[in-house]
Amino acid sequence: MDYTKIIDKLPYTEPFLFVDELLSVSEESIVGTYIFSTDLYFYKGHFKNNPITPGVILTECMAQIGLVCFGIYLLRDEISLEKINVALSSTEIDFHCPVFPGEKVAVISEKIYFRFNKLKCKVKMVNSKDEIVAKGTISGMIVNKDLI
């Protein structure tokens, strides 16, 4: 599968798409990147005169690459990707350093398990200096839209 086709299948668009490219994808892991451009809407109020990327946005970026893109890849032969919804079921993320406007991050996700359409992954985000920005676990359900 062409990696750009995975991104095209995501149920997100700008300004809530936090995936620029996928670097590698396998049955066990996925790696992707995103650049937090300086003009993103949330920097205007987080924080006054010292903008940093909110933790919830970092978590979303980790989930989009490390869970949703990964799930699309893992289900590529199972069901029609146009008929899926993804529901985040749990996160446990520790934050280690801030991400500032203009920074590029990489998300590395390793499968813990994938069964009964539930995917659980160990994820980490690193900055361009290869410093750990955040790490933890994310899990979610991949649901057929016809069943909900």
Could you tell me the residue ranges of all domains in the chain? 3-147
User: In whole angstroms, how far apart are CA 82 and each of 75, 89, 97, 117, 139?
Assistant: 11, 21, 36, 16, 21
The predicted model scores a pTM of 0.93
Query: Is position 96 annotated as part of the catalytic site?
Result: no
> Do residues 10 and 71 touch, judged by C-beta distance below 8 A?
no
Largest interatomic CA distance in the chain? 48
Q: Omega before 47 cis (within 30°)?
A: yes
Write down the architecture of domain 3-147 according to CATH: Roll (3.10)
At residue 2, the pLDDT reads 82
Catalytic option among 3, 42, 46, 76: 46
At residue 145, the pLDDT reads 62
Q: What is the pLDDT of residues 116-139, one digit of tens each?
A: 889 999 999 999 999 999 999 999
Q: How confident is the model at residue 26 (pLDDT cuts 50, 70, 90)?
A: very high
* CA–CA distance, 117 with 63 (Å, rounded to integer): 16
